[in-house]
Structure 1
């Protein structure tokens, strides 16, 4: 179900970008919501024309995680306003116990602090006539401290107000 939804969102993003005839405007900063396997807030700020810093504050397993990313953006010349990007960074946070416990934990799990590294690859689209940005990405992570190693299920759609 999640895969079908993400494919539909991706198709909508491409369709919107193909209908757009004008030259895409760039943005310096975008602030908004991120929805996917985990949900939260996102802030992206460009430090150069093709490089951005992104901060994500999101929830997962009844906890809170802060992620910082450095991203390189590349234009897709055939589609105005659409860029693809890649990058990496790190995260720190905590996962709390609960009932039921997370599916990967045993029944005695009491929560933990996690620290790890992240990668990211995705598409970023800025509407020409509106201060709106959509971003669809895949963000795998590897927890170095606690929390079970590799997490490869993080796909998300972000919608941001840009200025």
Structure 2
């Protein structure tokens, strides 16, 4: 777990130096995008996971952005790093409102997993056999590495005259961990400080 914490700290430091570099370039070259900002950093709170969000628009006015999420699930001890490529499209007649879609991947590690274990009991009757199933709720304390693919669909609004963006998104993802696979749905609200 210490290795994972060190890795996440390194990623956050790398992202922060990239953001400072992007801010310097914006001031010197007038970069940015049609979204009204170049980079945003803030919090994302969702139904499945919550954490830090960093979004940076690529140079030019094409509306392409890269977003990184460092999140943790409510039911697991651990963290996940998600990288997404997104295409932003302005909503006509509403200044500051953008629709976006994209895809990406994630990797993470979780310590512990809840699962069901069943024990089957058989009773033989005259006509047929009855089966009784007893379910036990177990907790496994091992650390699992998870990888997966993500999609994202959302709306965001850049507040006029304020350095904030409010967004809402839907992010379904597919995950593989320790021989198990799953498809999950996540929706979230985010607030970012922009520069």
Q: 1:107 to 1:157 in 2, by over 3 A?
A: same
Greater than 2 Å deviation, 4+ residue runs = 101-106, 108-111, 144-148
Determine helix, strand or coil for the equivalent of 1:148: strand
* 1:118-137 matches, cutoff 5 A: 118-137=150-169
- Paired residues for 1:1-163 under 5 Å: 26-37=36-47, 38-47=49-58, 48-49=60-61, 50-60=63-73, 61-97=76-112, 101-102=113-114, 107-109=138-140, 110-146=142-178, 147-152=180-185, 154-163=186-195
Per-residue CA deviations over 1:68-114 (Å, capped at 9, x if unaligned) read 000000110132110000000000001211xxx54679614234110
Contact 1:125/1:135, CA 8 A, preserved across alignment: yes
- Give distance in 2, aligned partners of 1:32 and 1:155: 16
- Structure 2 unmatched ranges of 5 or more: 1-33, 118-136
- Report the TM-score when normalising by structure 1: 0.76
Gaps of 5+ in 1: 1-23
SS, match of residue 89 in structure 1 = strand
Q: Aligned partners of 1:102, 1:76: CA distance in 2, in Å?
A: 43
Give the stretch that moved more between structures: 101-110 or 43-52.
101-110
CA distance in 1, matches of 2:193, 2:176: 33
Aligned length: 136
TM-score w.r.t. length of structure 2 = 0.64
The structure carrying a bigger strand percent of its residues is 2
- For 2:133, the equivalent position in structure 1 comes to none
Distance in 1, matches of 2:116 and 2:41, equals 32
Q: Flag the structure with more relative contact order, 1 or 2, with Cα contacts below 8 A and sequence separation at least 6.
A: 1
Query: How far off its partner does 1:148 sit?
Result: 3.1
